[in-house]
């Protein structure tokens, strides 16, 4: 019997231990999961693969264009039809003197002609462009630029995913910190409710004092339920964002510590601008418009090519093979009619892209300036919130001592307790804003996070 009880306890212990096991996530591991599994990044990588295939396709234009063709024909009647009439044909008697004036003849009865009712042709042609108005070179440059832009889009998406991950992470951590604060506040109110009820039973306080504590306790419990629901939803969103199965018991390891001064992360705007993916992509957009203009201009220029052809023909039971070398020039005369206007249109597009680059450069620098100011304000707000916590804690101690001495009433104590809890929550909010503004500033200045 004792062995059975011991075995049962062991099974329960193991079951509880396994059930209580939860996976621990650090901010670093959350970022790693998100960068690996996030669907937005996967889509951008697929687009990169497509751009690389376009680049490879463009490179094949440097090689000869080879074509093979086969042709077979069978007619219901010969393509060459006719009739040779009957006649006397001269016969050569061996004497050269009689060639002009033959003396002997043979009779030819005539014949009908029905020829070329079938034929077979096989040809292989290779054409190598020597000059195509720069379209092949510029087309390859344009395709290579597409690959570069696709890679930049991946980096930009990864940066956005990192910031979004930090936002989810620190919001959940902040709500969990608030949950701890509210739980401790709830425990304090429960004890205070017991004290108030005992004091009321002893006739020391009025019924209203007990009701005030109960009302405050109900308010705190409502806030606690709302926080739990909010944490649950955010955890689900974080797991979806990271591409991992939802874990109700997941644990986020970092806390709100590790606060560093913004000055240590400051970076000059001009220096950071050149590293911003948005800026580089806009520069590439200008280059792409210039290449498009060159492509249109290339359609208006002559094309020079050389080629070779091998042909096998089977006609009238005669088989022949021939090899041909050729060279040519194509001058697109009519292309000038609309090409001039298309070139002007692309010139306008180049100007638009350049203006957009200049405007965005200024906006990006303003964004960096605002991000740093927000980061700095959030850092300074932590000092203000920390001081408020200390002051409210000292105030609470004074009020509690006076309440225990009978100098202050229950309302004063509840108000002091609420002020202290609000100050702690405000500190958590300030620390959370600091973390988020820090992430946004690092993204704005293209610093590794």
Assess whether pLDDT exceeds 80 at residue 289: yes
The Cα–Cα gap between 421 and 186 comes to: 11
Instruction: Name the region of 176 (left: φ>0; alpha: ψ -120 to 50; beta: rest).
Output: alpha
Between 65 and 409, the more confident residue is 65
Assess whether pLDDT exceeds 50 at residue 11: no
The Cα–Cα gap between 174 and 60 comes to: 56
Total domains, the chain: 1
- pLDDT category of residue 117 using cuts at 50, 70 and 90: low
N-terminal to C-terminal alpha carbon distance within the chain: 60
Question: H helices within 302-334, ranges in order?
Answer: none
Assess whether pLDDT exceeds 60 at residue 395: yes
The Cα–Cα gap between 413 and 212 comes to: 11
Residue 101 falls within a domain, yes or no?
Answer: no
Residue 300 falls within a domain, yes or no?
Answer: yes
According to DSSP, residue 64 is labeled P
| Residues near 91 by beta carbon (within 8 Å), at least 6 away in sequence | 102, 104, 105, 106
Q: Which domain holds residue 66?
A: 26-72+121-355
Positive or negative, the Cα torsion across 382, 387, 390, 396?
Answer: negative
The Cα–Cα gap between 94 and 333 comes to: 65
- pLDDT category of residue 313 using cuts at 50, 70 and 90: confident
Assess whether pLDDT exceeds 60 at residue 5: no
Residue 2 falls within a domain, yes or no?
Answer: no
Residue 387 falls within a domain, yes or no?
Answer: no
Residue 148 falls within a domain, yes or no?
Answer: yes
The answer to whether 201 and 235 are in contact (CB under 8 A) is no
pLDDT (mean) for 81-95: 70
pLDDT (mean) for 21-36: 89
Q: In CATH, what number is assigned to the domain containing residue 211?
A: 1.20.1600.10
Assess whether pLDDT exceeds 50 at residue 35: yes
The answer to whether 262 and 37 are in contact (CB under 8 A) is no
Residue 202 falls within a domain, yes or no?
Answer: yes
Residue 429 falls within a domain, yes or no?
Answer: no
Pairing of strands 118-131, 65-74: antiparallel
Residue 149 falls within a domain, yes or no?
Answer: yes
Assess whether pLDDT exceeds 60 at residue 6: no
């Amino acid at each position: 019997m004792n062995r059975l009880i011991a075995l049962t306890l062991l099974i329960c212990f193991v079951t509880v231990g396994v059930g209580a096991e939860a996976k621990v996530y650090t901010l670093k591991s959350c970022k790693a999961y998100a960068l690996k599994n996030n669907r937005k990044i996967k889509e951008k990588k697929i687009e990169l693969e497509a751009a690389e295939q376009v680049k490879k396709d463009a490179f094949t234009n440097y090689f000869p264009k080879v074509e093979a063709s086969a042709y077979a024909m069978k007619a219901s009647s010969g393509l060459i039809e006719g009739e040779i009439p009957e006649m006397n044909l001269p016969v050569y008697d061996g004497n050269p003197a009689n060639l002009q004036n033959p003396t002997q003849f043979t009779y030819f009865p005539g014949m009908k002609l029905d020829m070329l009712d079938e034929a077979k042709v096989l040809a292989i042609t290779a054409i190598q462009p020597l000059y195509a108005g720069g379209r092949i070179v510029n087309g390859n440059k344009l395709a290579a630029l597409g690959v570069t832009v696709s890679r930049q889009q991946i980096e930009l998406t990864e940066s956005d995913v990192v910031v979004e991950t930090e936002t989810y992470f620190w919001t959940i951590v902040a709500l969990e910190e608030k949950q701890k604060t509210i739980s401790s506040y709830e425990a304090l109110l429960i004890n205070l409710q017991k004290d108030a009820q005992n004091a009321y039973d002893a006739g020391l306080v009025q019924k209203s004092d007990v009701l005030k504590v109960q009302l405050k306790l109900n308010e705190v419990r409502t806030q606690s339920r709302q926080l739990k629901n909010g944490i649950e939803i955010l955890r689900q969103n974080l797991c979806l964002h990271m591409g991992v199965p939802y874990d109700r018991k997941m644990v986020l390891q970092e806390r709100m510590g590790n606060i560093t001064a913004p000055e240590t992360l400051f970076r000059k705007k001009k220096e950071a601008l050149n590293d911003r993916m948005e800026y580089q992509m806009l520069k590439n957009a200008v280059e792409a418009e210039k290449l498009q203009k060159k492509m249109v201009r290339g359609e208006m220029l002559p094309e020079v090519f050389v080629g070779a052809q091998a042909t096998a023909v089977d006609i009238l039971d005669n088989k022949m093979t021939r090899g041909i070398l050729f060279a040519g020039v194509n001058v697109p005369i009519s292309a000038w009619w609309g090409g001039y206007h298309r070139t002007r249109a692309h010139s306008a597009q180049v100007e638009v892209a350049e203006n957009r680059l200049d405007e965005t450069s200024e906006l990006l620098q303003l964004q960096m300036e605002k991000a740093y100011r927000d980061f700095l304000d959030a850092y300074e707000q932590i000092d203000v919130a920390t001081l408020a916590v200390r002051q409210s804690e000292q105030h609470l101690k004074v009020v509690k001592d006076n309440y225990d001495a009978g100098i202050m009433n229950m309302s004063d104590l509840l108000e002091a307790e609420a002020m202290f809890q609000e100050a702690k929550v405000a500190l958590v909010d300030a620390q959370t804003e600091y973390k988020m503004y820090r992430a946004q500033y690092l993204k704005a200045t293209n610093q590794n996070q």
